[in-house]
């Protein structure tokens, strides 16, 4: 059954425009509350958010919806997405909610749901909640309306938890770290954790105003952090996105290492230590072929999934794997967390620097990537991928690449975009093929 409201990562859209309206958030909260509160016992929800102006509006509406069905509501305030998954489990909540559009600009927002186990909800659960949204939601009697309270120590709990991912009794003394928090949810947590572990911290992207989240900073815009690394002669830079579930690493020269490079490093280290479950890394179809070749030489299997950390986590759980992620910087380490965690992934990298006594540049680029091009084309109501001209351009491109590369053309699950990705050892051929397909999609959009 096709989902109406939920995409690949919760419900998303332009703030104050359907489905990201206060009215819809209220109905989602009430529907989720009714779904999880199936008896008269006390049930609870924890709600976190990022720093967007609209997150406060949506928080209030969700809170009203949950309370109206009798759920006890615990408000965490601005916290990273992984904190919500962790706290939902540790606080014995029935559901956790994160209000965020992740790496998107301030004018977008989203609502992500986590189950009591800390994992994002299944497709089946989301379908049931959608059915409730569209129906008549039974409200609680006046005496059973849920209480609402703010939790002041939620962020502190997460920070202490994050530090457990770093070896006990090991410190970052003498290490200078630039941390870019994207003016987002980790603007307090990440610099504090690094400082408490002993690092000299140069924080940027830590002055949120409701509108500057991901604006010229963070994992999708690393130029400011790169400049800071060079200016301050830092050892390494860590760039998070707006809800801190993604990370990019900068070496001491300001050069960026994406999620593929970080996963390659962690996978090889864990494999050498005998702690990589089934000698397998789970990644998506977007991960570079160079990563696959590198892992193969190390005796590590790369298991590919559809795009989206939901699919990565599902494959990890089904196969008993403990490491997965995406090129975009989602790094999921199930020994620690149930979803991507940029801060904990960054700590893994810092630990590797200390243990090997090597500079970031020697660790952040473990394989030579195949030339890869990604073009995003925005469309309106019409699906350009159904056009005959686009289908013909894709067929011609696949024939041209043959076994020397690959194409991945798909619609985004979170934005009205067609993503055209190509990979090939021959960079000139790659540019021509991707250019032809992109032109065809633009003409049909």
For the annotated catalytic residues, the residue numbers are 102
Q: How many CB atoms neighbour CB 264 within 10 A? A: 29
Q: In sequence order, what are the beta bridge partners of 203?
A: 179
- The answer to whether the CB of 121 falls within 8 A of the CB of 24 is no
- The answer to whether the CB of 42 falls within 8 A of the CB of 68 is no
Task: Say whether 266 sits in a helix, a strand or coil.
Answer: helix
Q: In sequence order, what are the beta bridge partners of 376?
A: 419
User: CA-to-CA distance for 150 and 152, rounded, in angstroms?
Assistant: 6
Q: Residue 181, preceding bond cis, omega within 30 degrees?
A: no
Going across the sheet that includes 280-284, the strands are 301-305, 280-284, 323-325, 331-333
Task: Say whether 352 sits in a helix, a strand or coil.
Answer: helix
Q: What is the dihedral of CA 321, 330, 157, 65, to 10 degrees?
A: -100
Half-sphere exposure (Cβ direction) of 371: Cα atoms closer than 13 Å: 14
Q: How many CB atoms neighbour CB 16 within 10 A? A: 13
The answer for residues whose C-beta is within 8 angstroms of residue 141's C-beta and 6 or more apart is none
Cα–Cα distance list, 394 to 233, 426, 432, 439 (Å): 46, 18, 12, 11
User: CA-to-CA distance for 281 and 367, rounded, in angstroms?
Assistant: 15
Q: Among all chains, which residue has been given the structure tokens 């989203």?
A: 110
Q: Which two tokens stand for residue 354?
A: 């200390």
Phi, psi of 61 (to 5 degrees): -70, -45
Task: Say whether 383 sits in a helix, a strand or coil.
Answer: coil
Q: How many CB atoms neighbour CB 408 within 10 A? A: 15
How many residues are recorded in the chain? 445
User: CA-to-CA distance for 295 and 264, rounded, in angstroms?
Assistant: 7
């Amino acid at each position: 059954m096709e989902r109406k409201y939920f995409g690949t990562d919760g419900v998303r859209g332009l703030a104050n425009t359907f489905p990201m309206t206060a009215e819809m958030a209220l109905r989602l909260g009430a529907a989720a509350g009714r779904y999880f509160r199936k008896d008269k016992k006390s049930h609870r929800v924890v709600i976190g958010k990022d720093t967007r102006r609209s997150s406060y509006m949506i928080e209030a509406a969700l809170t009203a919806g949950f309370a109206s069905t009798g759920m006890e509501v615990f408000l965490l305030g601005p916290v990273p997405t992984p904190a919500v998954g962790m706290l939902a489990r540790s606080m014995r909540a029935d559901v956790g909610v994160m209000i965020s559009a992740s790496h998107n600009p301030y004018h977008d927002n989203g609502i992500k749901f986590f189950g009591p186990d800390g994992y994002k909800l299944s497709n089946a659960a989301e379908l049931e909640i959608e059915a409730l949204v569209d129906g008549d939601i039974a409200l609680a009697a006046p005496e059973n309306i849920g209480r609402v309270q703010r939790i002041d120590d939620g962020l502190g709990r997460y920070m202490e938890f994050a530090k457990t991912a770093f070896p006990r009794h090991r410190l970052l003394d003498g290490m200078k770290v630039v941390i870019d928090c994207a003016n987002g949810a980790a603007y307090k947590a990440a610099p504090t954790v690094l400082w408490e572990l002993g690092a000299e911290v140069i924080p940027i992207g830590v002055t949120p105003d409701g509108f500057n989240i991901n604006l010229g900073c963070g994992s999708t815009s690393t130029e400011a952090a790169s400049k800071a690394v060079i200016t301050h002669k830092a050892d390494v830079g860590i760039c998070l996105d707006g809800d801190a579930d993604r990370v990019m690493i900068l070496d001491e020269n300001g050069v960026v290492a994406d999620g593929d490079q970080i996963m390659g490093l962690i996978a090889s280290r864990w494999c050498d230590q005998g702690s990589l479950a089934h000698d397998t890394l789970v990644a998506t179809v977007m991960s570079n072929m160079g990563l696959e070749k590198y892992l193969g030489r190390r005796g590590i299997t790369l298991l590919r999934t559809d795009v989206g950390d939901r699919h990565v986590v599902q494959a990890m759980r089904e196969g008993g794997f403990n490491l997965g992620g995406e090129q975009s910087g989602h790094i999921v380490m199930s020994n620690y967390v149930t979803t991507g965690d940029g801060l904990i992934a960054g700590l893994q990298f810092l630990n590797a620097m200390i243990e090997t006594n090597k500079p970031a540049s020697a660790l952040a680029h473990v394989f030579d990537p195949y030339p890869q091009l990604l073009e995003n084309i925005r469309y309106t109501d019409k699906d350009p991928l159904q056009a005959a001209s686009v289908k013909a351009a894709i067929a011609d491109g696949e024939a041209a690449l043959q076994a020397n590369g690959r194409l991945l053309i798909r619609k985004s699950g979170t934005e009205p975009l067609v993503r055209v990705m190509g990979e090939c050892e021959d960079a000139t051929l790659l540019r021509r093929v991707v250019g032809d397909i992109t032109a065809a999609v633009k003409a049909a959009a």
